[in-house]
Amino acid sequence: MCPACRHKLHFTDATSTTATPASVPLRVEGSFRNPVDSGAWEYSMVLTIRDERGEEIARKLVGVGAMRPDEQRTFTLSVEMNPAVAGGKRSTWH
């Protein structure tokens, strides 16, 4: 399953094995409500990934939106991990 669009992926290679389910070592969900008397507000969701030395390796603007008074938004962040393909080299993809 594609983590971005959630469509099922199909492979025609007869030698491929069944994909193992993803492990989800991190999942965070939170919400906030724009107060009734605060007027309209804009928000942006930014995702930053850092390596073991604390150096930024990726920064993505995930979404931008606006909220009227008394509107609520809920955000969910999850990290899915799958085993790497055998024989692959170690690298950072971004």
Q: Where are the domains of the chain?
A: 25-81
- What pLDDT sits at residue 5? 72
Q: Mapped to the 3 state alphabet, what secondary structure does 11-59 carry?
A: CCCCCCCCCCCCEEEEEEEEEEECCCCCCCEEEEEEEEEECCCCCEEEE
Distance separating alpha carbons of residues 55 and 52, to the nearest angstrom: 7
Tens place of pLDDT for every residue, the chain, 94 residues? 676 676 666 655 545 555 667 799 999 999 999 999 989 999 999 999 999 999 999 999 999 999 999 999 999 999 999 887 665 555 555 4
- What pLDDT sits at residue 94? 45
Tokens 């469509």 belong to residue? 7
Whole-model pTM: value is 0.63
- What pLDDT sits at residue 16? 52
